[in-house]
Amino acid sequence: MDAGAARLDTADRSSFERSASARRADPLFRGGLTVLAGLVLVLLAFFFVFLIVKARPALAHQGVFSFVFSNDWNPSKDVFGAWPLLAGTLITSAIAMVIGVPVAVATALFITELCPVRLRQPLTILVELLAAVPSVVYGLWGVFVLIPKLRGTESSFADSLHVLPFVGGNVAGPNYFIAGLLLAIMILPIVSAISREVISTVPAEHKEAALALGATRWEMIRIAVLPYSRSGITGAALLGLGRAVGETIAVVLVIGNSTVVGKQIFDQGYSLAAVIANEFGEAANDPLHAGALIAAGLLLFVLTLIINGVARALVVRAERRQGTRLPPPTVTAAAMADPEVTAA
């Protein structure tokens, strides 16, 4: 304080100049916020390192490759091959994508391009309400409504379409398909919302040009809207995939929790997230088992990291092409329009 004041006195300062303490406030403020932002990075790094450290005993016991790919999860014998869990996660997410993404994109196209302007807002709100329902409520609904009510339909579907791969045979009550269907419903609002935002960035000139050339509404969507928003919709679908992979509670309730990999979509199964939620209680006094569950969490973390990393890379590429700064949050993925395609 004193030293600063002395220096200031000798300086040729105007009466408008701030006092030393007032001048210190700005760098302090800036520094504080920077530290806060840095803390997020430190936290995530700590997070990652801690998961690895805690998962290590189990990974060392089982071997990393064998942990991921060997098909035998048997905690009572200290055998931890997570393939049945990983397979379940992949199967249910795939079912969710196959059902959810087309419906979500259709909804987004209908709301932005076809429906009367007056219906736009209400429809948007209704679709987004799906996101307000917590996953445990979806699980509850899945257990007491979907499983009993869909059983008959599933059996007749399995019987009549057993020529399809992964269809046919006995229908278990809780199964991959029910879990996938619930996930499809859960990813629908986010995929639809981001697709809608992407689609609404298609310049009106492009659409008007198509219509002026005599295109029908659908042709306008096909030649003007879809090519422009393709990469954005891909990003939206990927973000949905990330959600589906990590979803726990709804899945654990309806997937059946069987550690045998099912042969068809109406078989029981397990998923990475589900096994953590289900077994952590019994694992509390067994460090090896707990380590295996943490390793499952680590695998899940890495999986979502890769999926979201790809989605993010799409955004960054689109940003660079566009040359302007896109708004970052939920909108980031949304704003990934693909101007190069339209320019061509």
Partner 1 sequence: MSSTSSASLLLAPVSGRRRTTDRLMRGILLAGTVIALIPLVLVVYYLFSRGLKGMTASGFFTTDPTGNFLGNPGGVKSAILGTLEIVALAAVIAIPVGIGVALYLVEFGKKTIFAQFVRYFIDVMTGVPSIVFGLFIYITLVTTKIGGSFTGWKGSLALALLMLPVVTRSAEVVLILVPESLREAALALGVPRWKVTMKIVLPTALPGLITGSLLAVARGMGETAPLLFTSATVFGTTYNLGDRMNSLPAQIFADISQPKDDIVNRAWASALTLVLLILAITLIARLAARRSRVS
Touching partner 1, residues 1-60 (CB under 8 A)? 16, 18, 22, 25-26, 28-30, 32-34, 36-41, 43-44, 47, 50-51, 54
What is the rounded distance in angstroms from the CA atom of residue 59 to the CA atom of residue 81? Answer: 10
Distances (CA, A) of 97 to 58, 234, 317: 32, 11, 24
The residue from 62, 92, 192, 201 that contacts partner 1 (CB under 8 A) is 192
Of 90, 133, 127, 89, the closest CA to residue 105 belongs to: 127
- Residue count at the site for partner 1 (CB under 8 A)? 97
Binders of partner 1 among residues 280 to 339 (CB under 8 A) are 280, 284, 290, 293-294, 297, 300-301, 304-305, 307-309, 312, 325, 327-332
Q: Give the pair of three-digit tokens for residue 338.
A: 């693909």
What is the rounded distance in angstroms from the CA atom of residue 216 to the CA atom of residue 222? Answer: 10
Q: Does 67 bind partner 1 (CB under 8 A)?
A: no
* Half-sphere exposure at residue 86, Cβ-oriented, CA atoms within 13 angstroms: 23
Stretch that binds partner 1, among 60-68, 134-142, 150-158, 223-231 (CB under 8 A): 134-142
Instruction: State which residue, 79 or 277, has the beta carbon closest to partner 1.
Output: 277
The residue from 87, 95, 109, 194 that contacts partner 1 (CB under 8 A) is 109
Enumerate residues 6+ apart whose C-beta is below 8 A from 31.
none
Enumerate residues 6+ apart whose C-beta is below 8 A from 140.
253
Binders of partner 1 among residues 228 to 287 (CB under 8 A) are 239, 242, 245-249, 253, 273, 276-277, 280, 284
Q: Does 185 bind partner 1 (CB under 8 A)?
A: yes
Instruction: State which residue, 5 or 33, has the beta carbon closest to partner 1.
Output: 33
The residue from 52, 103, 260, 288 that contacts partner 1 (CB under 8 A) is 103
Sign, Cα dihedral of 95, 100, 106, 108: negative
Stretch that binds partner 1, among 58-66, 78-86, 139-147, 155-163 (CB under 8 A): 139-147
Of 254, 239, 49, 43, the closest CA to residue 145 belongs to: 254
